[in-house]
Chain A
Amino acid sequence: MRRWSLIAVGLVAVLVGAGASLAVESPATVKQATPRVDTVPVPRPEAGLLLVWTSGGLPDGLAQSVSQLTDVVAVTSVRGGAVDLRRSLDADGRVLDQPADGWAVPLDAIAVDTSTFPTFVPRESAPPIRRLGPGQVLLGSTSARLRKVGPGGVLELLGGAVTVTGVVDDAVIGGAEVAFGAEEGARHGVTVERYLLVRHRASRAATERAVRDLLPAGRAVRFRAPGETPFLRDGDAVLPQALIKDRFGEFAYRPAAGRAVEQDPAWVAENIVTAEVPILGRIHCHRAFVTAFAGALGELRDEGLGYLVDRPGYAGCWAPRLVDVGQPLSRHAWGVAFDINVLKNTAGRGSAQDPRLVAIMRRWGFTFGGSWLDPDPAHFEYLRPPAR
């Protein structure tokens, strides 16, 4: 027994000694053979929530079809459109905004199903949405700041007056300026189904496949999950109108022929300027937009890439117009978008823009219409300040 103890102690000591020697030889720890870069998983935000939208509105019945998918837990369909503000009053009845007769302030609106939509928003934002009734509206936080209106205030819209019952974070209502219940929205013409929010059990890929299978053949669709875009809404590649107003100002307008509009002359005089820029020469844009536009063109010139901009193919910056008849105001109306090389870049088709030009434009903060779901490859518009 004693001998075995000695042998055991000796063997253990041999191993310890060998280990100690190895440790001595390796003053720093020898690390694992597998690179850490391969072993660190990148965590994803909340799984199981998906935004689904198609250009020009959703196909009829899509929400119903999606709700019947096996692994879909909940669906809500959001309608969207533009409404015109004639006058606004605070809770005490004092007039805040009142464009001249025949003029209106454009508002970006959504209309939600007050029973299903609240399950897709943070818990604290759900009650005011559930309570939305006829003649009532919620404002996004940026919209409330622009309007200087809070709960109890009144918006006199083209379709009738509504009372503001609350203010929610912009992201809760997809960056819209105002949110109605579905019925009230219909009274103001907000009837086109724009996007779905879907809660699902299956993988994202499987859910996307299942939804695609429900769409008409060839119909382009965009899926987004939380984190990928700040506002879960249709047209998520551009800034919501509320944020464009917040940065570049708000104006009243009135329809003109076709998709043309007239803008408040005072706003135009104050904000639209004429400037000389590299390559293109004279332009008319928003005064806060010119620096970045000129910077991008200057960089193109300095890099020897000025030839990538075809001077006759420049189709302007400021243009008072709607995106199309029956659609919201174009960003051109703010003078914060421009079209270049239009002769070779037709809307709805693939881009013929040089990738180096696109890269420079992006660096200066312009989103590229060529990467949109409904491509407009001649179009660039303000998205963010230039990258540093």
Chain B
Amino acid sequence: MRCDEARAVLSAALDGEVAPDAAAGARSHLAGCPECQTHIDAWERVRRELLAVDDRPDLVAGVLDRIAHQPSRRTTVRRTLPLVAAAVAGLIVGATLVSARPGRGPDLVGADIPRRVLAAQSRIDSLEAQVEITERGWHPSVPVRRFTGALVYVAPETMILHLADRTEYPAGQWVPNNVDVVVDRSMWWARGPAPCPTEAQPRCTPTEPRVRVVTGREPFAEDLPAPLDLVLPASGFAIGTDALVLERERDFDGRPATGVVTTAAQIGALLDALHVAGNWRPVPPTAGVTLWLDKERLVPVGVDVDEVSGRGAPALEIRLRGAAPLARPQDAAVPTPPAAPVVRDAGFRDGEEAGPTPSWLPAGMQPYRNGAAGPVAAASWSDGRAWVKVRATEAWPGGRLFGGLGEIVRTVPLPGQGIGYVGEGGRKVAVHGAGVDLVVTGSIPSPDLVRVAASLGVRGEPVPSDWVEASTATLATARAALAPLLVLRGSKNYASPSIRVEDDTVTLAYAGAGDRGFVLVQSPGTALAPPFDADVIGVRVRGRVGRWTPDTHTLEWLERGHLIEMRSRTLRLAELVDAAHQLRVAR
């Protein structure tokens, strides 16, 4: 049952218009749909308030009848009653008109979207769609390029993306940008023109496409990714509890979609799908983006990337037309890889060692693939597009945490199992145990990754003092090292910071949605250093004179005897300044 159908039935049931038995189907929908539950709860509250005015469930007919037939009386009560009745009737009519307007799906509001996108992963088992792409400004001689193609997805990570270049190129040696990306369990292949700088076009692109074929692929391999965010942009909503949504919906193929206003950094994983093969116009992470999500399925049916200037037609438009589940996912035909000069074996073998197994997984997760690549064992589980993977090794040489968590991490308690380290804004949880190192990754919320890590039966120890992450600190430690310490407080858009303390320098890394985030460095200081570059800009930040260096994407200023630096390649200057204004002294 669809959300709008369920809501209509339940609203009618609340008003006694539908027998309780007849609403059973809608109630079962409610059990699995927190959005509808919220809607019905709210509607019930309003209804109760309305009933408090006149304790009758069916007001409209009676009130109108009274207005029409009541003779005029001179008492105050009698003069007032029709006005109250008119008001009540109007309220109900207005509310009914709005609720009953056609085409309503489950409403997406900013605070809903991240949670709903993550929750929707388990409801997607397959998808097929026609893909249309319009790209502007790739080359001065080719102002517009158009592509059509198809996307086929079967959970958890089988992907077939085919794009045919429909552009009418001028005469010359232009090579059509036809692209294929195919992922099927351990097989990964891509075909497209060899990368070549735009300014060297058209001659630098070889006429023969570059073909890469890889076997022995690990499940959910980072270096050989399946572009899952084309199906559902979970990576872009794993952090943050709010999103900026457009006031107006837009129809895509007759289905309403909600526009989420953001920057390219938030949907980097989605846009990266286009850059696996072929030549494309680069998209800076700070470019403005409107992401159109199908209101019901949350499939990204449209992506509009602004020109950096913010003017003119979008630099890139992606459309998924007719997106719908496959009738028979099991019959999806995966094309065989083309002939390639070299077939690389990534070394993963299914069915071999699986490493530690979690005793807890999110409900619905089923085993996907287990195996090993050399000394690293990996096991994975999936539920629709949602997935979890545990990688483990007993042969980690040390120096830094296993799993590529990035330079700055934070510690997290593993209940009853010591400590873990969280990196990449919560997308990875590493455990350094006695004789074993492991990392838990996945598309599920960060607290669930921590819970999986805690259930592996491996006690997490602090890393040795000579490892990179040994300077990882808690907020209390950081505050003791440098006071007053500024931290971001009350933001819905960033995860808890990863913190590092080296001498009297404190570094906090804030990860946001997708690739968005910034690093905040604080150290004692009484003067900014001279600028590295000619192109620097004086800005006012937190009521002080600061400096923005575009080349290094650094905003710096002096405050309370400290040199404060904010660095980000994924936030615009205005966003950084805005984040700076949200900094507060840590307590």
Q: Is the CB of B507 within 8 A of A388?
A: yes
Q: What's the Cα separation between A10 and B86 when bound, in Å?
A: 5
* Residues on B with beta carbons closer than 8 Å to the beta carbon of A15: 90, 94
State whether the Cβ of B531 lies closer than 8 Å to any Cβ in chain A: yes
- Asked if A383 meets B574 with Cβ closer than 8 Å, knowing A21-B98, A31-B245, A35-B262, the reply is no
Q: A20-B95, A367-B530 are in contact. Are A40 and B577 (CB under 8 A)?
A: yes
Nearest A-chain residue to B546, judged by Cβ:
A227
B388 to chain A, nearest CB (A): 29
Q: Does A18 contact B (CB under 8 A)?
A: yes
Q: Quote the shortest CB–CB distance from A22 to chain B (angstroms).
A: 6
For chain A, residues 351 to 388, give those with C-beta under 8 angstroms from any C-beta of chain B. 362, 367-368, 371, 373, 383-385, 387-388
Q: Is A19 an interface residue (CB 8 A)?
A: yes
B418 proximal to A (CB < 8 A): no
Per the bound structure, the CA–CA distance linking A236 and B528 in Å amounts to 12
A309 to B504 alpha-carbon distance, docked (Å): 33
Chain B interface size band reads 35 or more
Is A24 interfacial (CB-CB < 8 Å)? yes
A6, A25, A227, A230: the one within 8 Å of B539 (CB): A227
| With A13-B88, A225-B538, A228-B547: A24-B43 Cβ-Cβ less than 8 Å | yes
B552 in the interface (beta carbon within 8 A)? yes
Given contacts A10-B87, A31-B244, A42-B573, contact A228 B536 (CB under 8 A): yes
* Chain B residues whose CB sits within 8 angstroms of the CB of A383 once the complex forms: 529-530, 532
Q: Are A362 and B261 in contact (CB under 8 A)?
A: no
Contact A45 B90 (CB under 8 A): no
Q: B245-260 interface mask toward A, CB cutoff 8 Å, 1 = contact, 0 = none? A: 1111000000000000
Find chain A residues with CB under 8 A from B86 CB. Answer: 6-7, 9-10, 13
Within 8 A of A (CB), among B459-518: 500, 502, 505, 507
Q: A2-B72, A36-B244 are contacts. A227–B538 as well, Cβ < 8 Å?
A: yes
Q: A17-B93, A21-B98, A25-B39 are in contact. Are A228 and B527 (CB under 8 A)?
A: no
Taking the complex as formed, is B578 at the interface, i.e. its CB lies under 8 A from any CB of chain A? yes
| Residues on the B chain within 8 Å of A44, using CB | 537-540
Partner of A37, one of B45, B502, B540, B574: B574
Given A10-B87, A227-B539, A229-B530, CB of A41 within 8 Å of CB of B574: yes
Q: How far is the CA of A237 from the CA of B533 in the complex (A)?
A: 8
Say whether B90 contacts A11, CB under 8 Å: yes
Please tell me if A43 contacts chain B, counting CB pairs below 8 Å: yes
Q: Taking the nearest CB of chain B, how far is it from the CB of A384, in angstroms?
A: 4
Q: Mark A305-325, 1 if CB is under 8 A from B, else 0.
A: 000000000000000000000
Interface presence of A27 (CB below 8 A): yes
Docked complex Cα distance between A380 and B573 (Å):
28
- CB-contacts of B570-587 with A (<8 A): 572-575, 577-578
Q: Is the CB of A45 within 8 A of B83?
A: no
A27-B90 contact given A17-B95, A18-B98, A229-B531, CB 8 Å threshold:
no
With CB as the reference atom, state the residue of chain A lying closest to B85.
A6
- A17 near B92 with CB under 8 A, answer yes
Is the beta-carbon distance between B247 and A30 smaller than 8 angstroms?
A: yes
Question: Does chain A have a CB within 8 A of B534?
Answer: yes
A343 contacts chain B at the CB level, 8 A cutoff: no
Residues of chain A lying within 8 A (CB to CB) of residue B93: 13-14, 17
Contact of B521 with A by CB under 8 A: yes
The answer to whether A238 and B530 touch across the interface, beta carbons within 8 angstroms, is: yes
Given A42-B539, A42-B577, A28 and B91 contact (CB-CB distance below 8 Å): no
Of B108-116, B119-127, B187-195, B203-211, the one contacting chain A is B108-116
User: Considering the complex, which residues of chain B in the window 48-80 have a beta carbon less than 8 Å from any beta carbon of chain A?
Assistant: 67, 72
Q: How far is the CA of A70 from the CA of B533 in the complex (A)?
A: 31
Contacts of A16 in B (CB 8 A): 87, 90-91, 94
Chain A hits for B537, CB < 8 A: 44, 227-228
With A38-B288, A227-B538, A229-B536 already in contact, the answer to whether A239 and B72 are too (CB < 8 A) is no
Given the known interface contacts A9-B83, A14-B90, A44-B539, the answer about A239 and B529 at a Cβ–Cβ threshold of 8 Å is: yes
User: Are A21 and B99 in contact, CB atoms less than 8 angstroms apart?
Assistant: yes
Determine whether B263 belongs to the interface, using a CB cutoff of 8 Å to chain A: yes
> Does A257 make an interface contact (CB < 8 A)?
no
Give Cα distance in the complex from A44 to B539, angstroms. 4
Complexed CA–CA distance, A44 and B544 (Å): 10
**Taking the complex as formed, is A226 at the interface, i.e. its CB lies under 8 A from any CB of chain B?**
yes
CB distance from B505 to the nearest CB of A (A): 5
Q: Contact check, B577 vs A28: say whether CB atoms are below 8 A apart.
A: no
Pairwise interchain contact A18-B532, C-beta atoms closer than 8 A: no
**What is the bound-complex CA distance between A231 and B86, given in angstroms?**
72
Tell me the complex Cα distance, A44–B93, Å: 52
Contact B574 A42 (CB under 8 A): yes
A24 surroundings in chain B (CB, below 8 A): 39, 42-43, 45-46, 95
Cβ B109 vs Cβ A45 within 8 A: no
| Cβ contact within 8 Å between B95 and A33 | no
Q: A residues 229-245 with Cβ under 8 Å of B?
A: 229-231, 236-239, 243
Is B165 located at the chain interface by the 8 A CB criterion? no
CB–CB B94/A37 < 8 A? no
Q: Which 5 A-B pairs have the closest CB atoms?
A: A227-B538, A13-B90, A17-B94, A17-B91, A28-B111
Q: Can you offer 28 A-B residue contacts whose CB atoms are under 8 A? A: A2-B72, A13-B94, A14-B91, A14-B93, A14-B97, A18-B98, A21-B95, A21-B98, A24-B39, A24-B42, A24-B43, A25-B39, A25-B107, A28-B242, A29-B110, A30-B109, A31-B244, A33-B246, A36-B244, A37-B574, A38-B310, A40-B575, A43-B539, A227-B538, A237-B532, A243-B527, A383-B530, A388-B521
Instruction: Using CB atoms and an 8 Å cutoff, list the residues of chain A in contact with chain B.
Output: 2, 5-7, 9-22, 24-38, 40-46, 170-171, 222, 225-231, 236-239, 243, 362, 367-368, 371, 373, 383-385, 387-388
Identify 11 new A-B residue pairs, CB closer than 8 A, beyond the known A9-B87, A24-B43: A11-B90, A17-B91, A17-B92, A21-B96, A25-B39, A25-B107, A37-B288, A42-B574, A43-B539, A230-B529, A388-B502
